[in-house]
Amino acid sequence: MTASTPSVTPASGQTPARRFNWKRATLHGFLIVMSVIWLLPLLWALYTSLRPFSDTAQHGYVSIAHTLTLDNYVNAWNDAELIRYFFNTAVIVVPAVIIVLLLSSMLAFVLSRYSFKFNLAMLLLFLGLNMLPPQVLITPLYQMFRRQPELLYDQYMGIAIVHIAFQLGFCTFVLSNYMRTLPKELNEAALVDGASVWKTFYAIIMPLTRPAVAALAVLQVTWIYNDFFWALFLMSTGSKFPITSALNNLKGQYFVDMNLVAAASLLVALPTLIVFFALQKQFISGLTLGSTKG
Amino acid sequence: MVAIPTVVVTIFVIIPTLLSIIWSFGTWNGIGDPLSRTNWVGLWNYEILFTKYPFFWPAVQHNVIWLVWLAVLATPLGMFLAVLLDKNIRGTRFYQGALYMPVVLSLAIIGFIWGNLIYSPDQGFLNSLLGTTSSDDTFIDWLGNRDLNLWAVLVAASWRHVGYVMILYLAGLKAVDPSLREAAQIDGANERQTFFRVVFPVMRPINIVVVVITVIESLRAFDIVYVINKGLNGLELLSILVTNNIVGEGVRVGFGSAIAVVLLLLSLIPIITFLTRMLRDDSI
């Protein structure tokens, strides 16, 4: 079916010009209503965040704004020292994403290029475990972490390692599926040229896998940035919390009115909204690489 | 190349999973050495859980409601939107963008935004819009009312889930061979018949992924509820009950582990379904 004949049914003989328009109008009407509903919470947050508290106190939240200001953003940012929590998040996200992509690339390479039955069983196990709710593991992990206060408990490294372990299966699955689509002859050619396994990996296979790695990197940054759970139980010092876990605690102390809450929410959502606006393609292909072949 | 990832996953995922299972048969309270300080009591923790613990069955019920809500409302809505947007209509990029925007947000911040800005009794959007306020006590306590709060949370959770399902189906629909549709239409099938009899069955791999995601999401639900009220007062979930037994005074590792094992067993259903399908379809 081509673009020029969207929904005219060939079976009906007469030219249904009127009915066609009516159908399209309903379709667009429905989609516009849905889109507005879907955009409303964030637009509402944006609108509230731009109004001074005095304005909303006087006229109510559902009212026409008399003044717009960025003061709420400045205040939320400064009072709650948000920069500190963004920094905490970065200290966890950056190493975790780099290491998980490195490890899963190697694992996927071995699995897809030198497949053994054992490897396949291992991948299935890793992938299956990664799909578990994290609450299944939290009790033993908490006990383990408590016994390693220098390395794990209340440490950025501990949180990063848990993310690495918990994302490895998914990343390996996506990357090995991608690598399987590369021609087998590449390996043979490399072998004939005398390249070692390592060289085949980083000089031949990895450059070709770059699009999948990029998509996964965007997805993993978003997911790990968004994680709320692990730090909540595996960290104890509030000021070391990553931003997503810290937000709720900061509310009672610093975000005393809805205008500040709205500004803080959008500041915390901002990095992921940047992903949405700037890296949409990578994010979506990261999500769908795992669910479709190749 | 294989050793390091294997060690990491073994220490931080496999061993904890096994420990959850083992500890669920004992009474360790988290203090001291688990080997010497545990009474092994068989299925006692499970017996207490199923017969005495007042929050267990409500939590199961809430998880089931969560699943049914997603499966009956949110997932089909996402699929329906994908079908509408897969056509070459004007503005499809705008519609897709609007519907998919919440997918990049965490459920924690979704709980934060909806809980404070939409549902708040005093200053929330809904009560402000309805003109119901705390001054004359007419406000609707969306999150405090036990009969209402689960549904309010599910609406917020669906805000993200619908877009997620839509993206997966849009990818799936793009992969469907266009000649299949043409053939169906030449045979006189209308749009609905074409979709349900031809396109939908061909998308089987995506259908399985979406079903699995829907089930897993309803078992994994935690963040949004925890942000809103720590999972109390009508918002109990299995995942929340596990964490109630980890820290603080009431640490009962054995009992908490028993809840974790129930969660584990339930999660194995979608996980094994997914993995066996993957193996059978040779997608792994």
pLDDT tens string B120-139:
887 788 888 887 766 667 78
Chain A contact for B43 (CB, 8 A cutoff): no
pLDDT > 90 fraction of chain A, expressed in percent and rounded: 48
Claim to verify: residue A123 and residue A139 sit in the same structural domain: yes
Q: pLDDT category, B259, cuts 50, 70, 90?
A: very high
Q: pLDDT category, B268, cuts 50, 70, 90?
A: very high
Which CATH number does the domain housing residue A168 bear? 1.10.3720.10
Residue A175 domain flag? yes
- Arithmetic mean of pLDDT, A54-77: 86
Out of B84, B107, B271, name the one closest to residue A131 (CB).
B271
Chain B contact for A8 (CB, 8 A cutoff): no
Specify the DSSP class assigned to residue A48: H
In which domain, by residue range, is A167 found? 82-255+266-289
Residue A8: predicted pLDDT: 43
Homologous superfamily of domain range B45-280: MetI-like (1.10.3720.10)
- In angstroms, rounded to a whole number, what is the distance separating the alpha carbons of residues B210 and B139? 38
Residue B30: predicted pLDDT: 78
Write out residues 58-77 of A within 8 Å (CB-CB) of B.
60-62
Last residue of a domain, which of A60, A75, A90?
A75
Chain A contact for B105 (CB, 8 A cutoff): yes
pLDDT for B218 beyond 90? yes
Write out residues 36-55 of A within 8 Å (CB-CB) of B.
36, 38-39, 41-42, 44-45, 48
Q: Which residues does B267 contact at the CB level (< 8 Å), separation at least 6?
A: A131, A132, A133, A136, B216, B219
Nearest in space to A214 (alpha carbons), one of A115, A286, A138:
A286
Chain B contact for A272 (CB, 8 A cutoff): yes
Chain A contact for B117 (CB, 8 A cutoff): yes
Q: Where are the domains of chain B?
A: 45-280
pLDDT for B54 beyond 60? yes
Claim to verify: residue A60 and residue A147 sit in the same structural domain: no
- Arithmetic mean of pLDDT, A177-187: 84
**Where is pLDDT greater, at A165 or A197?**
A165
Claim to verify: residue A41 and residue A59 sit in the same structural domain: yes
- In angstroms, rounded to a whole number, what is the distance separating the alpha carbons of residues B184 and B58? 48
Residue A5: predicted pLDDT: 41
Q: Which of A139, A274, A285, A293 to mutate to test the interface with B (most CBs of B within 10 A)?
A: A139
Nearest in space to A46 (alpha carbons), one of A270, A243, A228:
A270
Claim to verify: residue A133 and residue A62 sit in the same structural domain: no
Last residue of a domain, which of A75, A92, A118?
A75
Q: Are B74 and B158 in contact (CB under 8 A)?
A: yes
- Arithmetic mean of pLDDT, B2-14: 91
- In angstroms, rounded to a whole number, what is the distance separating the alpha carbons of residues B180 and A93? 44
Cβ–Cβ pairs < 8 A, chains A and B = 292
Residue B283: predicted pLDDT: 66
Q: What is the mean pLDDT of chain B?
A: 89
Claim to verify: residue A55 and residue A100 sit in the same structural domain: no
Q: Which of B10, B45, B73, B106 to mutate to test the interface with A (most CBs of A within 10 A)?
A: B106
Claim to verify: residue A144 and residue A26 sit in the same structural domain: no
Q: Are A104 and B6 in contact (CB under 8 A)?
A: no
Nearest in space to B5 (alpha carbons), one of A164, A9, A49:
A164
Calculate how close chain A gets to B12, using CA atoms only, in Å: 6
- In angstroms, rounded to a whole number, what is the distance separating the alpha carbons of residues B9 and A79? 40
Out of A140, A261, A287, name the one closest to residue B167 (CB).
A287
Nearest in space to B212 (alpha carbons), one of B267, B157, B159:
B267
Bridge partners (DSSP) listed for residue B40:
B26
Residue A254: predicted pLDDT: 83
Q: pLDDT category, A287, cuts 50, 70, 90?
A: confident
Q: What is the DSSP string of A42-70?
A: HHHHHHHHTS-HHHHHHH-SSS--S---S
Q: pLDDT category, A293, cuts 50, 70, 90?
A: very low
Q: Give SS3 for B26.
A: strand
Calculate how close chain B gets to A135, using CA atoms only, in Å: 6
Residue A11: predicted pLDDT: 45
Chain B contact for A175 (CB, 8 A cutoff): no
The pTM of the whole model exceeds 0.80: yes
Residue B249: predicted pLDDT: 63
Chain B contact for A291 (CB, 8 A cutoff): yes
Residue B284: predicted pLDDT: 60
pLDDT digits (tens, 9 = 90+) for A5-60: 444 444 444 454 555 688 888 899 999 999 999 999 999 999 999 998 888 888 87
Residue B168: predicted pLDDT: 92
Chain B residue with Cα closest to A249: B227
Q: Which of A9-23, A42-56, A97-111, A249-263 has the lowest mean pLDDT?
A: A9-23
Q: Which of A83-87, A101-105, A112-116 has the lowest mean pLDDT?
A: A112-116
Contacts of A105 in chain B (CB under 8 A): none
Q: Which two tokens stand for residue B284?
A: 């792994």
Q: Which of A126-130, B75-79, B175-179 has the lowest mean pLDDT?
A: B175-179
Chain B residue with Cα closest to A123: B284
Residue A176 domain flag? yes
Instruction: State phi, psi for A25 to the nearest 5 degrees.
Output: -65, -45
Write out residues 131-170 of A within 8 Å (CB-CB) of B.
131-144, 161-162, 164-166, 168-169
Domain count, chain A: 2
- Spell out a b/e string for A115-133, using b for 16 or more CB atoms within 10 Å of the CB, else e: eeeebeebbbbbbbbbbbb
CB neighbours (10 Å) of residue A98? 14
Residue B248: predicted pLDDT: 64
Claim to verify: residue A109 and residue A177 sit in the same structural domain: yes
Q: pLDDT category, A3, cuts 50, 70, 90?
A: very low
Out of A24, A229, A268, name the one closest to residue B223 (CB).
A229
Claim to verify: residue A169 and residue A108 sit in the same structural domain: yes
Residue B134: predicted pLDDT: 65
User: Could you give the ipTM of this predicted complex?
Assistant: 0.91
Residue A120: predicted pLDDT: 81
pLDDT for A143 beyond 60? yes
Residue A36 domain flag? yes
Claim to verify: residue A104 and residue A230 sit in the same structural domain: yes
Residue A19: predicted pLDDT: 52
Claim to verify: residue A272 and residue A136 sit in the same structural domain: yes
Chain A contact for B112 (CB, 8 A cutoff): yes
pLDDT for B72 beyond 90? yes
- Arithmetic mean of pLDDT, B49-70: 94
pLDDT digits (tens, 9 = 90+) for A44-58: 999 999 998 888 888
Q: Give SS3 for A27.
A: helix
- Spell out a b/e string for A271-283, using b for 16 or more CB atoms within 10 Å of the CB, else e: bbeebbeebbebb
pLDDT for A1 beyond 90? no
Q: pLDDT category, B245, cuts 50, 70, 90?
A: confident
Claim to verify: residue A187 and residue A156 sit in the same structural domain: yes
Q: What is the mean pLDDT of chain A?
A: 86
Write out residues 73-92 of B within 8 Å (CB-CB) of A.
81, 84-85, 87-91
Query: Would the CB atoms of B171 and A288 count as touching at under 8 Å?
Result: yes
pLDDT for A99 beyond 90? yes
Q: Which two tokens stand for residue B167?
A: 């993206």
Last residue of a domain, which of A56, A75, A94?
A75
Query: Would the CB atoms of B109 and A60 count as touching at under 8 Å?
Result: no
pLDDT for B225 beyond 80? yes
Claim to verify: residue A237 and residue A109 sit in the same structural domain: yes
